Structure 1
Amino acid sequence: MEFDVEKSVVLVSFLTSFFAVFLAAGIVIGVPSIANEFGMNNVVQNWIITIALLVVAVFTLPAGQISGKFGVKKSLVAGVIVFLIGSIGACLSFSSTSFLFFRVIQGIGGAFSNVASMAMVVQAIKPQNRGKALGFTVTGVYLAGSLSPVICGFLVYNFGWRAMFYFTIPFFVLCIALMILRIPGDWKTYENDKIDSIGYLIYGIGILLFIYGFTSLMTTMGKLCVLIGFILLIVFAYYETRVNTPAFNMRLFKNMKFTSSNVAALCSYLAVASLTTILNYHFQYVRGWNAQMAGLILIVTPIIMAIMAPNSGRLSDRIHPQKLAAIGMAIATLALFILIFLDANTPIWLIVVAMVLQGIGMGLFTSPNTNAIMSSVPPNETPNASAAQSAMRTIGQTMSLGLLTLVFAWIMGSLKLSSQHASMVVQASQIVCIICTIICIIAIFASLVGIRSKDEFNIEKPA
């Protein structure tokens, strides 16, 4: 019975991760079609992706405490239901405003799904098999990234962008049914904790202002938002050390292994998250390919990741996970360096080489780094660790796309993205790749710092 529950937990985690990422990756392919239908300029167009990630970033830390208090399975079911509502609403959108609103709903559901899914795997699976289970879950992420460009490219090209959302609806219903019928009981670690609503409010406003300001940093309002957001995040960190039941246990960051792994995660996602969008823009706006053709070549990186992730997860149960993570980031850095020179004359074979290297690097990094984070805290802190890991990923992804938006707005102003402005697309893409290469190098050093750390299971909540 215990083995059946473990298999069901891993399967549900795999499926929820798969279809959430399937839509997220599909949105990248569908962005030009969505923007064209609703008449969006390049700034609003980039918000199609960024807004959902921003909402996930806002709700991720609260999701950690809430799922620990009310149960990770209940939180996962609720998260998938909310995400499903957002998907149905996106299908029925009639304007850019309504579409972006339902992307916000998807973001709320995604935050709870991300945190609860990972926490459930860690709590349900024995420690000696944890890396393997996490690797399988991460494989779902990368397998979705592999299949999504092909399937969504086909759907968008032949049936329109709404077909992407309709396609996923039955599978989310299946995930909900599996959780209710195949996974008995629940896991609660903060059942007696009070909800830290003040902490949620400070963090939510702080991260919202910081990331929003980052995407419009060239304006006075953007600079002001970044400053206020940064101050509020400092206030949040201080406040959380003074309350008995914090929204997030900041003392976890006294553990160097936990801290360095999270810094590496933040930098890695900040460095690579915008690459799919950059390559998609390159293929569609610079090369003049359609969505289906772009989708076919964009599967290269996630296919390699899907192959690497389960193997690196198993390896991380036997080899120091941060050694594997550091090697992975070094390979990903090489991929980014190649893409610095991306232009209309770059050979396709060289672009594919860079995509393969990125897949190997991130596939070797993600599962071991996740294992390092989740294994560096005591069992009762797994929802917090999952929330931190999810927050680093989402904040990194959001800031990466924010960086993309910022650079494209700087180069193109409010011009609409099109093949007529291909030279500007190339220039903006090269600048983003230069910045991301530097960030990737920082991620390597963060992983190396964690190798020397012996900190583990020494964290307590504030008295």
Structure 2
Amino acid sequence: MIDKQSPYKHRKSVLIIIFLSSFLTAFSVYTTVISAKNIGMELGMDAATISWVSLIFILAAAMFLIPFGKIADLYGRKKIFLTGVVVFTVSSVLLAFVDSTGAFIAFRFVQGLGAALIYATGNAILTASFPPTQRGKVIGINVTGVYIGLTLSPLLGGIMTQNFGWRSQFWFNIPFGVLITLLVLLKMKGEWTSEKREKFDYIGSAIYALFLFSLIYGLSLFPNIIGFVFILISVNGVIIFILWEKRITYPMLDLNLFKNNRYLLFSCLVSIFFYVSTIALALLLSLYMQYLLDMSPQEAGYILLIQPLFQAIFSPIAGRLSDKVEAKKMVSVGLIIVLIGIAPLLFIGSGFPIYLIAISSAILGLGTAFFSSPNIRAIMSSIPKSSLGIAASLEGTMRTIGQTFSFGMLTIVFAVIIGNVAITPPYYPQFITSARVICILFLILTFISLIFSIFRGKREIEGKEK
């Protein structure tokens, strides 16, 4: 496969466009973390359903990232990216008008589809537009866009929710979506695609989406018997998917990419376990501060601002270092820092000091900054350039699968310990128990991620690239 786009042209415009899209999608995910209580109260959601406010978005992205990455390699990454921006923007308009839980979940799913189209192409376009010696730096800059979105989302999300209602956060997305669309049409010249035409694996894509949805939906119903049925469907789906992908000539996901490539396999596992163990902490702490400490969305937003602020500050530094320092060393250091950040939260209770939440958030932000850029670079550099769309979607899929399971674990623990009831004062002790169980599980999973990082081996692909 040969990239039709001339290497390294229009790189500044490309970086600006991808940066803005990363900011927008990150901002949209985490404004709902701060507004989840208000959305749930207005639309009549119980404790378990509230977690679906963020979960359904990430689940949609996880289900379709790899299929969209393959489509982008075949038909053009710019086309897929632009489609994603349009879908994301239109769904934001629809979300601003919903008046029921069902409509909210449905349009939030569509918004996640738009995000999947963006995720599947953003890093692939960046990687194709810059030489290998600059990729760590530009990925670090792009990750900064993500963390600026994460930084502003609790702050602006809290202000908008408190003063203008939760719907205002979706109106906020619209001008950015229009701006990015215009920039793509006017400034992103050429196309990134492949000259070799392959058939798209529709069956494999359908099986993949089905087993992933069945797994997450089944876990959300746990311990109900229907949940076990969906989990069983998912396990069978995984087996069928693997057998199908090995059988066909042009698979959706070439499993040979992992063959004799422990570096790629372990980098993906590191990503999954890391995001499982960190992403839902923001929602957990947001609910804790607003329910048990009776803080307003704006006040909780100030505290939640700390982690992404540290991430935004240190991500460019980590990106530059990843061009010089071996990725597994930087990622491992980041994971150790994250372990230190989670540890104080094991003792969360009704009188837990706000300053400890702030300190833990700062430490988590620092650790995440040292994790993200180097691990993205590790995955992107472990796959041949002809498959950059798949590489970008694979990295994004590992991240979104981890995020999905993170919110899924939150849903399961809430459902088992609190039950399908609203979070009210009589259930605050159960909420505290849930929070401690979740933090223990997240600490264990972060340690597992650290083990995979240490033993991932050495990178092979990028050293061959000129």
Flag whether TM exceeds 0.5 (same fold).
yes
2:252 to 242, 247, 251: 247
Give me the CA root mean square deviation: 1.6
User: 1:225 Cα shift?
Assistant: 1.3
Match of 2:43 in 1: 38
CA contact (8 A) 1:68 1:191 kept: no
Match of 2:200 in 1: 195
Letter in 1 for 2:445: I
Does 2:308 match 1:269? no
1:231 to 223, 236, 250: 236
Letter in 2 for 1:262: C
Does 2:102 match 1:88? no
Match of 1:21 in 2: 26
User: 1:238 Cα shift?
Assistant: 2.5
Letter in 1 for 2:244: Y
User: 1:180 Cα shift?
Assistant: 1.0
2 CA distance for matches of 1:115 and 1:309?
21
1 CA distance for matches of 2:258 and 2:168?
43
Counterpart secondary structure, 2:249: coil
2:127 to 88, 102, 122: 122
Match of 2:454 in 1: 448
Return structure 1 stretches of 4+ with deviation > 4 angstroms. 1-4
User: 1:419 Cα shift?
Assistant: 4.2
Q: Which digits, 9 at most, give the CA deviation of each residue in 1:419-438, with x for residues without a partner?
A: 44322211101100101100
Does 2:390 match 1:373? no
Does 2:395 match 1:389? yes
Mapping of residues 30-109 of structure 1, within 5 Å: 30-109=35-114
2 CA distance for matches of 1:29 and 1:249?
39
Match of 1:153 in 2: 158
Mapping of residues 175-214 of structure 1, within 5 Å: 175-189=180-194, 191-214=196-219
Match of 2:3 in 1: none
Structure 2, unmatched stretches of 5+, are 1-5
1 CA distance for matches of 2:398 and 2:248?
23
User: 1:217 Cα shift?
Assistant: 2.4
Counterpart secondary structure, 2:70: helix
For this pair of structures, how many residues does the alignment match?
Answer: 458
Letter in 2 for 1:228: I
1 CA distance for matches of 2:207 and 2:74?
20
2:11 to 6, 16, 20: 6
Structure 1 stretch 286-295 or stretch 40-49: which is displaced more? 40-49
2 CA distance for matches of 1:54 and 1:47?
9
CA contact (8 A) 1:33 1:161 kept: yes
Match of 2:442 in 1: 436
Match of 1:335 in 2: 341
CA contact (8 A) 2:413 2:438 kept: yes
1 CA distance for matches of 2:292 and 2:22?
32
Letter in 2 for 1:380: S
CA contact (8 A) 2:140 2:315 kept: yes
CA contact (8 A) 2:7 2:130 kept: no
2 CA distance for matches of 1:206 and 1:55?
13
* Change in CA separation of 1:419 and 1:122 when aligned onto 2, cut-off 3 Å: farther
Structure 1, unmatched stretches of 5+, are none
CA contact (8 A) 2:8 2:130 kept: no
Q: Identity over aligned residues, as a percent?
A: 33
Match of 1:399 in 2: 405
